[in-house]
Amino acid sequence: MNIRKKIMLGFLCLGAMLAFSGMISTFQLRRLSRNTENLLNSSIKSIAVSKAMLDVSQEQNTSLLHMIVLGQTEFDSTFTASRIAFGKALKNAASMAESNAKGLDSIYTARDNYYELIDSFFHTPGEKDIEWFMQMYGSSYMALTSAIKNYMVASQHITLSKAESLERYAYRAIIPGIITLCVAILLIIVFAFMMETYYIRPVERMTKGLDSLLKHRFPYNVEVEGNDEIARLNDQLEELAALARDRIKE
């Protein structure tokens, strides 16, 4: 193999290693960024959904208060609209709650109890008074809002546990880079050593040999290993030196 090919191959190895490490790290970093984004989105979504459920519960509560205490029956439509909005918010929560099914189940149970109580109010509106509102309804409403808040806290805990996997992704993104960098540094040292051993030192020896020949007429006697251009150059210099010696003798 000639010198050019050897050096090219050496650089190719180094380049391939760095490129490969770059590719792997980029891939892992993109994965990390995608996972971080998903995690943040799911956290924001769960907070938004919980907030929506709490808001509409509050609306329902206010509407009912207006109807019972002030006798304002027009709040009936507001209550119905809030009920539909609650259903939608709960549906949204269900679509993203694979990992928090337990929390969602408690909301479903609390909601069913809550609406059972509300339905009884609408069937016999005259019988329900402020006392009913404070005692029966109040505890059911509290149970519903507590279930929603618990769901919100549990969702954040799940997000936190998922965040630990980000550490693993980060590790996987960094480690290939570190290892490859170490290997690349090692290869650079080996590359420099090979250049020194096989190219720089022989050229220095040949220069020294030629200097001795030209300045002091010492015989040219340099040994170079291998069969590349430098070894051939050394052979040719030896021939040239022998030729010059013969000429001088003549």
Partner 1 sequence: MRLAVVLRYIGIIMLLNAAFMLLSAGISLINNTDSGFYPLMLSFVLTSILGVFPLIFVRKNDRINMKEAYAIVVGAWLTACIVGTFPYLLWGGEFSWPTAWFESVSGFTTTGSTALADVEALPKGLLFWRSSTHWLGGVGVVMFVLVVLPTVGRTKMTLSSVELSPMAKENYRYKTQKVIYILLSVYLGLTVLETICLKIAGMGWFDAINHAFSTVSTGGFSTKNASIAYYNSLAIEIIIMIFMLMSGLHFGLIFATLVGKRNNIFRNEVSRFYFATFLISGLLITFSLWHAGMYGSFFESLRYSLFQTAAVITTTGFATADTTLWTSLAIMLLLYLMFQCACAGSTSGGIKSDRVWLALKAIRLRILRQQHPNAVIRIKMNGVPQDNSVINFAMFFIVIYIMIICAGTIIVSATGEDLMTSFSLVATSMGNVGPGFGSIGSMSNYSEISSFVKIFSTIFMLLGRLEIFGLFQLFLMKWWR
d(CA 137, CA 145): 12
Using CB under 8 A as the binding rule, whether residue 198 contacts partner 1 is answered as yes
Contacts with partner 1 by CB under 8 A: the residue count is 27
Return the exposure string of 211-249: e unless at least 16 CB atoms fall within 10 Å of the residue's CB, then b: eebeeeeeebebebeeebebeeebeebbeebeeeeeeee
Nearer residue to partner 1 within complex by CB, 29 or 143: 29
Pick the piece of the chain touching partner 1 (CB under 8 A) from 88-96, 120-128, 170-178, 210-218.
Answer: 170-178
Q: Which two tokens stand for residue 249?
A: 């003798």
Using CB under 8 A as the binding rule, whether residue 175 contacts partner 1 is answered as yes
Using CB atoms within 10 Å of the CB of residue 13, give its burial: 0 to 12 exposed, 13 to 18 middle, 19+ buried.
middle
Binder among 134, 179, 200, 243 for partner 1 (CB under 8 A): 179
Nearer residue to partner 1 within complex by CB, 9 or 48: 9
User: What is the separation of C-alpha 12 from the centre of its chain, rounded to a whole number of angstroms?
Assistant: 29
Using CB under 8 A as the binding rule, whether residue 181 contacts partner 1 is answered as no
Pick the piece of the chain touching partner 1 (CB under 8 A) from 41-49, 89-97, 129-137, 173-181.
Answer: 173-181
Q: Which two tokens stand for residue 148?
A: 């929603």
Identify the helix (H) or strand (E) that includes residue 182.
Answer: helix 138-195
Query: DSSP 3-state assignment of 97?
Result: coil
Using CB under 8 A as the binding rule, whether residue 187 contacts partner 1 is answered as yes
What residues have CB less than 8 Å from 165, skipping those under 6 apart?
A: 35
Using CB under 8 A as the binding rule, whether residue 194 contacts partner 1 is answered as yes
Nearer residue to partner 1 within complex by CB, 12 or 130: 12
Nearer residue to partner 1 within complex by CB, 65 or 181: 181
- 60 neighbors 117 (Cβ within 8 angstroms): no
Pick the piece of the chain touching partner 1 (CB under 8 A) from 3-11, 88-96, 100-108, 200-208.
Answer: 3-11
Nearer residue to partner 1 within complex by CB, 3 or 130: 3
Shortest distance (Å) from residue 135 CB to partner 1: 54
d(CA 92, CA 50): 10
Identify the helix (H) or strand (E) that includes residue 96.
Answer: none
Using CB under 8 A as the binding rule, whether residue 163 contacts partner 1 is answered as no
Pick the piece of the chain touching partner 1 (CB under 8 A) from 5-13, 71-79, 149-157, 212-220.
Answer: 5-13
The letter for the amino acid at 50 is: S
The letter for the amino acid at 127 is: E
Shortest distance (Å) from residue 214 CB to partner 1: 31
| Residues in contact with partner 1 by the rule CB under 8 A | 1, 6, 9-10, 13, 16-17, 20, 24, 168, 171-172, 175-176, 179-180, 183, 186-187, 190-191, 193-194, 197-198, 225-226
